Amino acid sequence: MSPSHLIRVMVVDDHTMVRRGLATFLKVYDDLELVAEADNGETAIELCGQVSPDVILMDLMMPEMDGATTIRHIRQQYPKTQIIALTSFKDQETVQNALQSGAIGYLLKDVSASELARAIRAAHSGRATLSPEAVQVMVDAASQPRAPGHDLTEREQVVLALMVEGLNNTQIARRLVVSPSTIKTHVSHILSKLGVASRSEAVALALRSGLVD
């Protein structure tokens, strides 16, 4: 197959063995090419700009920058790149966060090689692929009323709790050992998801709605 017809794939996962397994899987298919690997979100965003993958297989639970946040950044900066969330988690919050962030697919890590290959090809063509578990979650979610903050990621919940404590971005960054710019992004997403315009409104809503302990 000519290089122009290869589907360029990047793997993002903080576990080395998972990346190696996916790299081995990709070698089996003549139309799939591994172009990069990343073990965290920030590296994934940087590499995306360098290698321009067609499809990314994205883990969701990673340190510093979680998968949903990474997906959101990549989809904003590189909208032609499609992303499949490949994870072990099938709870409602995780599924919704991934899809709302821009993932075109959601599969569990026990998916078969042939199913994953089909999902990659589908994503490259702009078609979604969801695991049965993810579909069920979306069906269940559609019938439930949504409370404020229902779509906050785990890291955003932590940041919100620290905001309630009165910490500023620099202090939160120091506490979580990440950059202030990362915290600024989290805060922006928190305000957007809560539908408020300021930190004080976010804190008041969090306390009123019991979003933090």
pLDDT, position 195: 87
pLDDT, position 40: 94
pLDDT, position 209: 85
> In the structure encoding, which two tokens stand for residue 209, read together?
């709605």
> In the structure encoding, which two tokens stand for residue 38, read together?
């990343």
Which domains, and CATH codes, for the chain? Answer: 3-142 (3.40.50.2300), 154-209 (1.10.10.10)
Give the end-to-end CA distance of the chain in Å, rounded to a whole number.
56
Contact 105, 134 (CB under 8 A): no
Q: DSSP H helical segments within 28-91, as ranges?
A: 41-51, 67-77
Question: Which of 156, 151, 205 is closest to 184 using CA atoms?
Answer: 156
E strand residue ranges, the chain: 7-12, 32-38, 55-58, 82-87, 105-108, 129-130
- pLDDT profile of the chain (213 residues), mean per 10: 78 95 94 96 95 96 89 95 93 87 94 95 96 84 71 92 95 95 94 91 90 78
pLDDT, position 151: 85
pLDDT, position 145: 62
pLDDT, position 28: 93
pLDDT, position 211: 84
Rounded (5°) CA angle 61-158-160 = 135
